[in-house]
Chain A
C-alpha cells in the first residue's frame, strides 16, 4: 500500500484537481485506490458526486473503526473508492499515524472489497502547518503543485525549509509545475530557475493552465472522462506515469 499526499501550503494551485485526476489515473491503471477527502470543503467528494458524510464530523469518530470504514463510498468508476472524511484538524494526525501502523485496527480495516488498497491518496487540507509533519511522515510521496510565479516560488522554498528544519526526507517531495501558461515569459523563467536550483526534484510532467480543469466542476467528473485527448488529461496521465516509475 502506497500513500500519496497531495499537499500545498498555498491555496488555489490545483491541489484538489490533482488528487481527483491522479486517483482516477491510478484506478484506471487497475490499482485499487482510496481517495481520502480530508479537505473540510469536500471538493474532491463533490467532483465524484459523493455527498459529504455528516456523521464523520463526530469527535469520537476515530475511536470507531467500523463507522469509519462504513463511510467509504464506491465511486462510479471501477477500483476507485472515496472516503468523504471532512476531518477536523485535531484528529488528522491520529488518522495518519494509525493508517501507517500495520497493527492498528484502522490499517486492518482500511481495505478495498477485494483486498488491500494499492494506493491511498490524501487530498490534504490547506494551511495545516501545525500538522504538516504528520502528513509528511505518513506519506510515501508528497505531490506538490507549484504555479511558476514568484509568490509560489517563495511558498515552495518555505516548504523545503520546513523539511530541512524537521529532518524530513526530501526524497518524498514530488513537486510539479501547475497551471503553466506557455505564453508568459515569467512562467518560463521561474520554471528554469527552480529546475536549476533543485535539480532532479521537479517532475517532468507539467500541467497546463486549462479550462478543462475548471469545467470539472460542471461535469463533476475527472478530466479524462470528458476531455481525454486534451492537454490537461494528458498531463495528469503523464504525472501518474512518472510517479509510478519513480515510486
Chain B
C-alpha cells in the first residue's frame, strides 16, 4: 500500500507549467513564490562514479543532495573535507564512501539554481500531489528537474502530471543527461577505455590504438597528480603507462626492433620518477593494516616510521609535480602523443601486418605453455626467483588476455580470468611481502629515521613488522603449488586451447 515510487523527471530548459497542467480539469496547480536563486556545485569523483550510476550530487545551501536514478534523493550536511569519508555521518556519505573511498569530490560544474514547491489541489483545497522543481543553469545550458511526491490514496494527479511531463519531452533523471546539458564540453574520464578490435585489424593497428588510448588516460591524470587531489590520479597514471609498456613487450614483433626499444626506454623514463611517491601512498594507505600486525606496545614505533613516510611523501610529491610541469616532460609526452597520432612514421616489425586475432592466439598459447613449464619445475624447495618468474609470466598472460578480450567471447574471458585469480592473488601477495620486507630493511639502513631513542623505538617496531611479513610470505609461498594445481585443470587447459584454436581443441 505504498505510493508509487516518487519519480524525477528531467527537462531541458524551463518548465511550462501552464502547458503541463491543461489536462487537470477539476484539479488545479498552486505554486509557492519560489526561493531566491542560489549557487550550486555538481560534484563527482574524477572517474565519475556517480554519473555512471545515473546519480547527480549537488551541493547547495551547505548541504549535499544526492539525486538517485530511481527518484529517491538523499540529503545531509556538507563538511569541510574533500573525501567521502570526511563528510559528517549521513546517507550521502554512506553511498559515496562505498562507491569511491579513495577518491576526492571534484566540482564538475558550477552554476545558479532556483527551487520551488508546487501542489496539485482539488476543489476543496486538499493536496493531491506535491511537486518540487529545481532549475539548474550554467553558461552552457539550463535544465529543470521535477520531482513528484505522491500522497497515499491519490493516484490520479501523479498519473496526469507524469504523462504531461512525458509528453513535454521529460526523461528520467540521469547523471549523463544533466552533464550533457550543463557541461557539454566535459569529457568523461575512463580509466580502462574499450579498445575496439575487429577480426581483420592488423596487430600494428591494435597496438597503436591501445597505446594511443592509454596515453590519453595518463595525460588526463596529470593535473590531479600535480594538485595532489587524491592518490588515485597517480595510480591511474602509472597503470596507464604500465599498460603501454606491457603492450610494447607483448607486441614486440609488431614494431621494428629498434623502434620498440626506443619506445620502451621513453615510457620507462616517464614511469621512473613516479615510483617512490606511489610506494609511499600505499604505505600510508595501509597504515592501519600494518599497525594491527604488531603488538600494541610496538605501535608508537611504527608511528615514527609513518611520520617519516608522510614527510618524505611531501617532498616526493613536490618533486614529481615540478617534474610533470617541466618543459622537458611536457615536450617528451607531447612528442609521444604526436607520434601515435601519426603512426605511419613508425617502423613496422615482422608481425606488424599479421592479423591481430592470429597474433593474439599465437601469443596466448605460447604464454600459457610457458606458465605451465615454469610451474612444473616448482616444488617446495625451488628458489624464490623461479616463483617470481611464474608471477611475471602469469601477469603477462593476464595482460594478453585483457588486451585481446574484445576478440573473444566475453564469457570465456571472464571464466579464464576468474580461474587465474586465486593463483595471481597468491603470487602477488608473495611478491608484496617480499618487496615490503626489503623496503623496510633498507629504510632502517638508510638513516632516514630520526636518531636517538625514537629512532631505536622505530627500528624495533619495524623489525617486528619484518618478522610478521616474513611469516606471511612463507605462508603464501607454501600455497603456490596448491593454487597452481587448482588453475592447471583440464577444463582451463581446454578453455585456453579453444580460445587459441589450438589443435588440442580440435582433436
A111 → chain B closest CB, angstroms:
7
Q: Once the chains are docked, how many angstroms separate the CA of A193 from the CA of B1? A: 49
Instruction: Provide a sorted-by-A list of 29 A–B residue pairs whose CB atoms are within 8 angstroms.
Output: A48-B126, A49-B122, A49-B124, A49-B125, A49-B126, A50-B126, A51-B122, A51-B126, A69-B1, A70-B1, A70-B153, A71-B153, A72-B1, A72-B153, A73-B151, A73-B152, A74-B3, A74-B151, A74-B152, A74-B154, A76-B126, A76-B127, A81-B152, A81-B153, A109-B1, A111-B1, A113-B152, A220-B124, A220-B125
- Nearest residue, chain A, Cβ from B2: A113
Minimum Cβ distance to chain A for residue B324 (Å): 52
CA of A246 to CA of B109, assembled, Å: 55
Q: Do B3 and A113 have beta carbons less than 8 Å apart?
A: yes
Main secondary structure of the interface of B (DSSP, over half): loop
Q: In the assembled complex, which residues on chain A have CB atoms less than 8 Å from the CB atom of B127?
A: 76
Complex: A70 Cα to B151 Cα, angstroms = 12
Q: How far is A50 from B457 in the complex, measured between Cα atoms in Å? A: 75
Q: Which of B124, B126, B152 contacts A72 (CB 8 A)?
A: B152
Report the separation of the CA atoms of residues A49 and B122 in the bound assembly, to the nearest whole angstrom. 9
Interface members, chain A 10-58 (any B CB < 8 Å): 48-51
**A-B contacts besides A51-B126, A76-B127, A111-B1, 17 pairs, CB < 8 Å:** A48-B126, A49-B125, A49-B126, A51-B124, A69-B1, A70-B153, A71-B153, A72-B152, A74-B153, A76-B126, A81-B153, A113-B1, A113-B2, A113-B3, A113-B152, A220-B124, A220-B125
Q: Which of B120-157 contact A (CB under 8 A)?
A: 122, 124-127, 151-154
Bound CA span A220–B127, Å:
13
Interface pairs A-B: 10 shortest CB-CB: A73-B153, A74-B151, A49-B126, A74-B152, A69-B1, A76-B127, A49-B124, A113-B2, A72-B153, A49-B125
Closest CB in chain B relative to A70 CB, distance in Å: 7
| Chain A residues within an 8 Å CB radius of B125 | 49, 220
Q: How far is the CA of A71 from the CA of B154 in the complex (A)?
A: 10
Within 8 A of B (CB), among A186-227: 220
Query: Nearest A residue to B3 by beta-carbon distance?
Result: A113
- B residues bordering A, Cβ < 8 Å? 1-3, 122, 124-127, 151-154
Q: Smallest CB–CB gap between A217 and chain B, Å?
A: 13
Which residues on the A side are within 8 Å of B1 (C-beta)?
69-70, 72, 109, 111, 113
Residues of A within 8 A of B (CB): 48-51, 69-74, 76, 81, 109, 111, 113, 220
Closest Cβ neighbor of A53 among chain B residues: B153
Q: How far is the CA of A71 from the CA of B155 in the complex (A)?
A: 11
Closest chain B residue to A110, Cβ basis: B1
Q: In whole angstroms, what is the CA distance A51 to B128 when docked?
A: 12
In the complex, what residues of B have CB within 8 A of residue A72's CB?
A: 1, 152-153
Write out the residue numbers on chain A whose beta carbons fall within 8 Å of the beta carbon of B126: 48-51, 76
Residue of B nearest to A73 (CB): B153
From B3, B122, B151, residue with most partner A Cβ within 10 Å: B151
Contacts of A220 in B (CB 8 A): 124-125
- Report A22 CB to chain B, min CB distance, Å: 20
Cα–Cα, bound, A163→B124 (Å): 41
Please give me the residue from chain B that is nearest to A77 by CB atom.
B127
- How far apart are the CA atoms of A50 and B124 in the complex, in Å? 8
Residues of A close to B2: CB separation below 8 A? 113
User: What residue in chain A is nearest B126 (Cβ atoms)?
Assistant: A49
- Give the residues in chain B near A74, CB-CB below 8 Å: 3, 151-154
For residue A221, which residue of chain B has the nearest CB?
Answer: B125
* Complex: chain A residue closest to B150, CB-CB: A74
User: Chain B's nearest CB lies how many Å from the CB of A192?
Assistant: 43
Q: What residue in chain B is nearest A71 (Cβ atoms)?
A: B153
Contacts of B152 in A (CB 8 A): 72-74, 81, 113
Bound-state CA distance A46–B153 (Å) is 16
In the complex, A66 Cα to B109 Cα: how many Å?
Answer: 47
Q: How far is the CA of A109 from the CA of B3 in the complex (A)?
A: 14
A107 to B152, CA, bound (A): 18
Q: CA separation between A74 and B119, bound complex, in Å?
A: 14
Chain B residue nearest to A84 in the complex (CB): B153
Contacts of B122 in A (CB 8 A): 49, 51
- The chain A residue sitting closest to B124, CB to CB, is A49
Using CB atoms, name the residue of chain B closest to A76. B127
Chain B residue at minimal CB-CB distance from A114? B2
> How far is A48 from B151 in the complex, measured between Cα atoms in Å?
14
CA A71 to CA B124, docked complex, whole Å? 18
Residue of A nearest to B1 (CB): A69
